Structures are given as C-alpha cells and as structure tokens.
Amino acid sequence: MKNKNMLDLVLPLNSEQLNYLKKLEKTCSNIQFAWLSGYFWNIANHDSDLLSNKNNLIDNQDQIITIISASQTGNAKLLSQRLYEYLKKNNKIVRLINACDYKFKKIKDEKILILIISTQGEGEPPEEALSFHKFIMSNKAPKLNNLYYSIFGLGDTSYNLFCHAGKIFDKRFEELGAHSLLDRRDADIEYEEMYNKWSEELLISINNKNLTSKSSISNKEESSTIVKSNYTKINPAKATILTNQKITGRYSKKDVHHIEIDISNLNINYKPGDALGVWYKNDINLVKNILKSLSINTSDIIKIKNKTTTIINALINNFELTTNTKSIVKNYANFAKNKFLNDIINNDINLQNYATKTPLINMINNFPSKISSGQLISFLRPLTPRLYSISSSQAEIDNEIHITVGVVKKIISNYCHLGGASGYLSQYLKSDDTIKCFIEPNERFRLPNNKKTSIIMIGSGTGIAPFRAFMQQRDNDGSNGKNWIFFGNPTFTEDFLYQIEWQQYIKKGLLTKMSLAWSQDQDYKIYIQHKIRENGKEIWSWIEEGAAIYVCGNASKMAKDVEKALLDIISIHGGMNLEDSDEYLNNLRLNQRYKRDVY
C-alpha cells in the first residue's frame, strides 16, 4: 500500500489511469507508440498555447483588431485573409473570423473592428452575415461609443443598390456611436487597386490612433476562416470535360445542362455544399461583331496589366461582354455622341431600364461609333469567374465534379442572347475540352455532422444541384436521418431534373419524402412555397425533432417566398406571433439548422 501511494506521488497519473496505460501498452506496436507520443505531445503543447493566448486576449483586449469576413462568392473572404496577413506582418494583434461565427452580442467589447462585406440579391447582406445584420439593426444592439471601425464594401455597379450592405452597416455603426477609423470604400468587381490603397491607409490610421501595440497573437477562431487550396481563382486548375448533356425536355422553356468534369490527375478535394468557380471565354462571333461595329482591327495590340495581347484575344478572355451597365452606357454615349443615348443618360430611371434591357452588342450595333481599342477596353468590365453549386459528392464519384448549369437566355429583336458563362459551358464545351476552374468552399452550407439528423432540402430549378450532392453523400455515409426534398420547376414531363435518381433514392428508402411543385401543369400556379405551407404541420414536427433546413435558389424571389412560408408555419404550428417566429427562425440559423445558398 505504501508503494502504491509513493507511485501516485511520483507519476502525474492516478492508479486507474496507469492501469489503462498498461493495457494499451500490451496492444501497441512500435509505430503506434511513436504516433501516440507525438499525439499527446501535441495536445499538451496546444493546450499550453491556448492558455497563453487566452491570457494574452484578456491582457490585450484593447489592442485587438477584429476582421469580420462577410462573403457571398469568396472575394470578401479572400481580402479578409490578405488583410489579416498584412496587419500581422506589421506587428498588429489581429484576429479573423467569418460573420456566421462571430459572437455579435460581444461587439460592445470590441475596440477596433474591420468589416469586409459583399452585397447580394437586392442590396442585402451575404447569407453568412444575416444574423449579425438582424442583431445590429435591432433595438438589442448596444451602444458602440468605444468602437473604431472601417468597412470595405464589395459590389457590382450594374445593380441599383451598389454596395448597399456595407453602406447600411456603416450607417448603423455611426448611429450606435462608433467612430470611423477610415472612410468606407465601395468597390466594384475590379477592386484590387482600391483595396491596396485602403489597406495601406488603414494601417496608417491605426498607427496614428496608437490603438494597438507591436505584438501578435493567434486566435482559435481564425482557423475556421483560413482555408488552403491547391487551386484558386488566381491559380485555377485545368480540367477536362467528360460529359455535357442537356437534361431538360425538348419542349421545355428551360435549357439545363449536366456537366461532368474529370479531376483524376489533379489534387482537388471538395465537399457537398461547395461551388465550382469557372473561368469562361466569350463567344468569338460576339467578339467579332463588336469589333466590326466599332471599326476596330482584330489584330490591334493592347496592354492589360503590363502584358500585351491582341484586342480579339483580350475580348475573348479578359472582359465581360454579356452584361450592360449604367456606367458602360454613360461612357459609350460620350464616345458615340448620339442624341438618343445622351438623352437616356440624363435620366437615371431610363438609364437603368435601358442598361438592364439592352445587351452591350445591341447598343453598339444600334449606335455604331468608330473608337480605338484602348477606348473600348477603358469602359468594359473585367471578366470574372462564375460559381456553380457542385451537384456531386466526391465520396461517391471520386475523380469527377458535376455541375448543373441553367442557360441564361434573352430573346431581343428576334435574336437569342446567351449568358457569358452559361453559354460557354452549355453550347461550346465538348468532351475532352479543357476548362479553368477552382473550388470555392462553402462552410456555411454543410451537411450535419450527426448522420442521424434529419434534413429538409428546398430548391427550385438548378437550386436542386447541391441536394443531389447531399443525397450521394448521405448514401455513401450510411446516414440514417430522414431526408425530405421540396423541388419546383415549370412542368413534370420536361423539367424534372435527375428524376430517375430521386426515384431510386425513394425506392431505396434513403429519400423519405419528395414534394413537387409544377407551376405550369395546371390552370393555376403552384410554387414551392405552396407545397411548404401544405405540409406545414409535418414540417413543424420535423423541426421540433431537430431537423436542419436547407434552401438553395434565387435570393430575391424563391428564397424570400420560402422564408415567409417557413415563418407562417412556425407562427401557426408553434403558436408564436410574427416577431417571435422571426426570432425562432433566426435561432435556427445561428444553431446551423437553417442554411441557405442563394444567388
């Protein structure tokens, strides 16, 4: 007994722990011993680091710069990561966090806050910032008299409410008493120069305020936002097309393509919920038409970012040609000296309507003008990649990526105008062709970690794409949670995307229920929100049982109608008023049980 007590004093393990250790010792190989040694060493050192960092956070709370990334397509996240690295290199105490992970009720304790935020839909904050936005706009928001802040907004001048999300946060922070560290910036899709200048001025402003000391810490929250990838928007992969197949019927008003891409020779990993970024090329016939109307020689040499190329190659690869904007119309009107265009640009409402309804090529063809190559590219917008929800699970199909592409079509003056990316993907790419692409992770749209959790998936049109990936993953994982899909499209016979696959999942028992809304199969319109209300009682029972809800589709129409239907269900079947229903749904969002991927 005496020896036993002596042993307990010498070792940091009690007798019970020591017995477990001896049992484990008898079953392990030398390799396993080495692995366990490193494993426990890492835990010990990690805990020590966390304790040290926690103390630093407490001691240096007034010195921390918090960067919040509120991203929709990944640009805000990328800039937030860059700013984080930049400030760290300049010896600032800084932490980086996604808006969806931010404990916004503690904003009253912040001293310096930098918000980099995109705008989506009709001037709305990105999906991951909605809960933060609801809180900061509510009467629960605290006074922020001790806060210094700066906002970098990302947007698109082709939309009326340009950078509106950044503007409303800026206004609200000011109303709550916060102090502007540096004036807000509103950046268009070509933001690099503005961002570089803003970040440099921000550092100067922080130094002038003497708000932070010269030290650096690491924060646990950072790890959720810093994602490493082999391929990026700047360094895309070159992948090969395997299949490009139309999956809507002959008489459908929609043209939807299922595209399979080979990644077997690439080190690419993705998860259900992620998006594929695609660098597309403009149609060469469209490019030639533009140059012909402007009397520009296709072999003209121009310079783009210190690189020389021909104007025809530049228009194919570097500039957006399928979206007109107010800015483009104004600039072209100045070159064309046309009375009609000059009258248009003097009335903002008429200008917006004209830019929305008139493709660039139509404007140029209707009012041709002889301008130089340099003048042309001076007012064109840079080409940017398009993001498509991945409709496959890598666990199921391994070395492929599938996407579901709805072709954007506009018939104007008896001519069919195609969207730049969707036209390129659907009409011009054939088997064995190569595309430039990259994975855009979407951590806010993940399946539940618990495979027993039931899920409700709501999507219309190509919004069903990520749910195909979800079902493949659930099938592969042997998940035993219930699965319910709501899907809407115009007609059953022409527009039931992946019909056979859903029927197989139902037959197999993996898909518990599928509720379908066909808007044009009867005399009256039936949309997805009608089916949600029709099944309100059962949906509420799933929610009470812990189900997670996913929504994918159009942000300004379908997603808003679906949210209103969900609020009605919560109100009716949960016995709540509208305000409490809204708070309940927002709590589902905060608890990762209500997730949307909207565009």
Residue 81 in contact with residue 131, Cβ under 8 Å?
A: no
Q: Any binding-site annotation on 308?
A: no
Closest CA to 260 of 371, 76, 138, 390: 390
Q: Any binding-site annotation on 249?
A: no
User: Which residues sit opposite 96 in a β-bridge?
Assistant: 67
Give CA–CA dist 127/470, Å, rounded: 19
Q: Any binding-site annotation on 240?
A: no
Q: 10 Å Cβ neighbour count for 460?
A: 25
Q: Any binding-site annotation on 160?
A: yes
Q: Any binding-site annotation on 529?
A: yes
Give CA–CA dist 577/571, Å, rounded: 6
Residue type, 405: V
Q: Any binding-site annotation on 81?
A: no
DSSP 3-state assignment of 116? strand
Closest CA to 153 of 145, 144, 143, 162: 162
Q: Any binding-site annotation on 551?
A: no
DSSP 3-state assignment of 545? coil
Q: Any binding-site annotation on 61?
A: no
Q: 10 Å Cβ neighbour count for 569?
A: 21
Q: Any binding-site annotation on 29?
A: no
Q: Any binding-site annotation on 526?
A: yes
Q: Any binding-site annotation on 163?
A: yes
Greatest CA separation for the chain = 105
Question: At a CB cut-off of 8 Å and minimum separation 6, what does 125 contact?
Answer: 70, 117, 119, 132, 133, 165, 168, 169
Q: Any binding-site annotation on 74?
A: yes
Question: Which helix (H) or strand (E) is 2 found in, with range?
Answer: helix 2-10
Q: Any binding-site annotation on 460?
A: no
Q: Any binding-site annotation on 528?
A: yes
Q: Any binding-site annotation on 121?
A: yes
Q: Any binding-site annotation on 421?
A: yes
Closest CA to 275 of 486, 129, 462, 123: 462
Q: Any binding-site annotation on 437?
A: no
Q: How many residues does the chain have?
A: 599
Q: Any binding-site annotation on 76?
A: yes
Q: Any binding-site annotation on 498?
A: no
Q: Any binding-site annotation on 322?
A: yes
Q: Any binding-site annotation on 415?
A: no
Closest CA to 559 of 533, 504, 596, 527: 596
Q: Any binding-site annotation on 73?
A: yes
Q: What would the two tokens of residue 415 be?
A: 């001519």
Question: At a CB cut-off of 8 Å and minimum separation 6, what does 503 contact?
Answer: none
Q: Any binding-site annotation on 525?
A: yes
Q: Any binding-site annotation on 154?
A: yes
Q: Any binding-site annotation on 159?
A: yes
Give CA–CA dist 243/237, Å, rounded: 18
Residue 134 in contact with residue 125, Cβ under 8 Å?
A: no
Q: Any binding-site annotation on 519?
A: yes
- 299: DSSP letter: T
Q: Any binding-site annotation on 71?
A: yes
Q: Any binding-site annotation on 432?
A: no
Q: Any binding-site annotation on 405?
A: yes
Q: What would the two tokens of residue 195 be?
A: 């961002």
Phi, psi (rounded to 5 degrees) for 325: -140, 165
Q: Any binding-site annotation on 527?
A: yes
Q: Any binding-site annotation on 406?
A: yes
Residue 367 in contact with residue 341, Cβ under 8 Å?
A: yes
Q: Any binding-site annotation on 404?
A: yes
Q: Any binding-site annotation on 162?
A: yes
CA distances from 389 to 131, 241, 498 (A): 23, 17, 15
Which long-range contacts does 269-272 make (Cβ < 8 Å, 24+ apart)? 269/394, 269/439, 270/390, 270/394, 270/401, 270/439, 270/441, 271/394, 271/441, 271/446, 272/390, 272/393, 272/446, 272/447, 272/466, 272/469, 272/470, 272/472, 272/473
List binding-site positions.
71-76, 118-121, 154-163, 322, 386-389, 404-406, 419-422, 519-520, 525-529, 561, 599
List binding-site positions for FAD.
322, 386-389, 404-406, 419-422, 599
List binding-site positions for FMN.
71-76, 118-121, 154-163
List binding-site positions for NADP(+).
519-520, 525-529, 561
